[in-house]
Amino acid sequence: MLRQVAEGVLIHDSEFIESKAVVVQGKAGVLLIDAGITAEEMAALADDLRELGQPVVAAFSTHPHWDHLLWHAKLGEAPRYGTARCAADIQAFLSNPHWKDDVAEELPPEIEVPLDLLGLITGLPAGTTQIPWDGPKVRIIEHQAHAPGHAALLIEERRVLVAGDMLSDVLIPMLDFSAADPIEDYLAALRLLEGVADDVDVFVPGHGSIGGADQLRARIEQDRAYVHALRDGGVPDDPRIGPSAKHGWEWVSDVHAGQLQRLAQRSERDGTPG
């Protein structure tokens, strides 16, 4: 179930949209990043960690989308963190009495997802640059691409970048249309990730395939080219959309079409791109 991608860093692959949970081994237990999706998978992950004698001592959600905020009681009661903006955003989401219905609309009926512990995270003070835990230093690289308070995490001594919902080989850049300038937010985030590329041997996207140092810059450039094409009104030459899309991921073309429409609507409304 768990596979090692670097010394002291393991991942679990979910069958649901190739989601990745990341385990970082520390002195007394593990840091669990984006715990997983289904009840069965998270319970099995908890069992695997118990067999390793590595309880969860801290957890972190990279951003405030439901599939990165799930939890299972078998994982324990370790503190669960996110950025301050991430925590504020999910608290606002949970204040809607119909939020479970909103999540259910995005799920296939055969997927059993435990929702009772969703989003129960503590926002770290604004500007926090390191996860508070007794293990390898994990740098928080906060940005506003994709979702408010999104964080990439650099496990410095392991040279692993946990990218959240960026740098995917199956998902295109998905903009946060609640932001004032989602295009520039995304480009700024890519510049931040590019700034640490020399310190990375392995990167883990939230969905899709992990990659090595040689692939990191290529994925950054691919995402930048897509966002530039959106900004400039061009047609992206991107294998993640159109006939070349990976089998089972054809719906990403619909996401692309939706983003084009929303950008056009914004431009008509206020005369500004993005």
* Digit-coded pLDDT (tens) for 209-249: 999 999 999 999 999 999 999 998 878 889 999 888 899 99
pLDDT for the residue numbered 233: 83
pLDDT for the residue numbered 272: 53
pLDDT for the residue numbered 57: 97
What is the residue whose two structure tokens read 């640490």? 196
pLDDT for the residue numbered 105: 85
Pairing of strands 80-82, 56-60: parallel
Angle (CA) 244-245-249 rounded to 5° is 160
pLDDT for the residue numbered 271: 62
pLDDT for the residue numbered 113: 86
Of the candidates 24, 21, 16, the one whose C-alpha atom is nearest the C-alpha of residue 54 is 24
User: What's the CA gap between 257 and 189, in Å, rounded?
Assistant: 23
- Tell me the three-class secondary structure of 67-92, residue by residue: HHCCCCHHHCCCCEEECHHHHHHHHH
Of the candidates 66, 59, 64, 72, the one whose C-alpha atom is nearest the C-alpha of residue 17 is 66
Say if residues 29 and 59 touch (Cβ distance below 8 Å): no
* Digit-coded pLDDT (tens) for 109-146: 778 888 899 999 999 999 999 999 999 999 999 999 99
Report the SS3 class of residue 176. coil
pTM for the full model? 0.94
Please name the residues in contact with 179: beta carbons below 8 A apart, sequence gap of 6 or more.
144, 148, 185
Q: How many Cβ atoms sit within 10 Å of the Cβ of residue 142? A: 21
Cross-strand partners of 165 = none
User: What's the CA gap between 255 and 169, in Å, rounded?
Assistant: 15
Of the candidates 63, 66, 219, the one whose C-alpha atom is nearest the C-alpha of residue 152 is 63
Q: Kindly list the distances between the CA atom of residue 232 and the CA atoms of 40, 176, 188, 210, 263, in Å, as whole numbers in the listed order.
A: 44, 18, 17, 29, 11
User: What's the CA gap between 173 and 40, in Å, rounded?
Assistant: 29
Residues of the chain with pLDDT under 50: 273-274
The tokens describing 235, both together, are 């047609």
What is the residue whose two structure tokens read 């405030």? 64
Q: Kindly list the distances between the CA atom of residue 183 and the CA atoms of 180, 221, 223, 272, in Å, as whole numbers in the listed order.
A: 9, 15, 12, 11
User: What's the CA gap between 256 and 242, in Å, rounded?
Assistant: 10
